[in-house]
Amino acid sequence: MDAEVSERAQTDIERVRVEVYRSYAEQGHPPSRPAIEAATRLSPAEVEHALTTLAETRHVVLDDDGRIIMAHPFASIDLHFSVKGTHTLWWGGCAWDAFAIPHLVPGEHEVLVATTCAACGTPHAYVVGTAEPPAGDEVAHFLVPAAHSWDDVVHTCSNQRIFCTEKCVDDWLAATGNERGSVFDLATLWRLAAHWYEGRLDSPYVRREPSEAKAYFAQVGLKGAFWGLEE
């Protein structure tokens, strides 16, 4: 009986996860608690348990009031990236997430990603599609090493930014007192985003093991201890 209950609970949790992702993908924002209850036919207590479990297992991010604020690559708070599709406007969770959305959402083969340089405030906009990286000489800078990305995931995501040049990165580091993280070009950012979130709109979704994540990072051209890789 306990095994049956556990299996049923896992099924309910997965149903809630899919509903959260479906709402973000189709509407650009997370579903309300009543909407989840209506879609899944679960009780308020069951929905609350599912969301808590999903947060604990890093499928969604809840704020201190229990509101859903992220389900990567989607966000419902401003983390410096807007993503405009044909019919939907999303907040991208970071540079990585913003570039990932067209690869994940069905029918959105190109989106307009808008942001500003974290150092000088210069606006940047890119048509990001699924066929090839966008043009641009700007660079991405990720502050928090991959192994610590979930220590404070909102802090991590808010510091995965695009800069005009490496000089802007250096200026920002000097102004903020932060240490240099990982710097790479837009083509590498696009490759990183392209397949990272595959399957998140499907069910069941199985997250990559750490060894698989490292292999993916190496495959897209990332190097060094920041990514858990050799130089």
- The secondary structure of residue 119, as a DSSP letter, is T
Which amino acid would we find at residue 193?
Answer: A
Q: Which of 131, 124, 138 is nearest to 184 (CA)?
A: 138
Q: Are 31 and 23 in contact (CB under 8 A)?
A: yes
- Token pair for 188: 């590498």
Distance, in Å, from the CA atom of 1 to the CA atom of 19, rounded to the nearest integer, reads 27
Convert the pLDDT of each residue in 107-140 to its tens digit. 999 999 999 999 999 999 999 999 999 999 999 9
Q: Where are the domains of the chain?
A: 2-71, 74-196
Q: What is the fold of 74-196?
A: Beta-Lactamase (3.30.450)
Convert the pLDDT of each residue in 44-65 to its tens digit. 999 999 999 999 999 999 999 9
192 three-state secondary structure = helix
Identify the band that residue 230 occupies on the pLDDT scale cut at 50, 70 and 90.
confident
Tell me what pLDDT residue 103 has: 97
CB atoms within 10 A of CB 214: 16
Q: CA distances (Å), 117 to each of 33, 96, 98, in order?
A: 36, 15, 15
Tell me what pLDDT residue 134 has: 97
Distance, in Å, from the CA atom of 42 to the CA atom of 60, rounded to the nearest integer, reads 18
Tell me what pLDDT residue 5 has: 47
b/e code 166-187 from CB counts within 10 Å (16+ = b): eebbebbbeeeeeeebbebebe
Q: What does the radius of gyration of the chain's CA atoms come to, in whole angstroms? A: 18
pLDDT of 9 higher than 90? no
Q: Provide, rounded to the nearest whole percent, the portion of the chain with pLDDT above 90.
A: 93
Question: For 2-71, which CATH class?
Answer: mainly alpha
Mean pLDDT within 13-42: 97
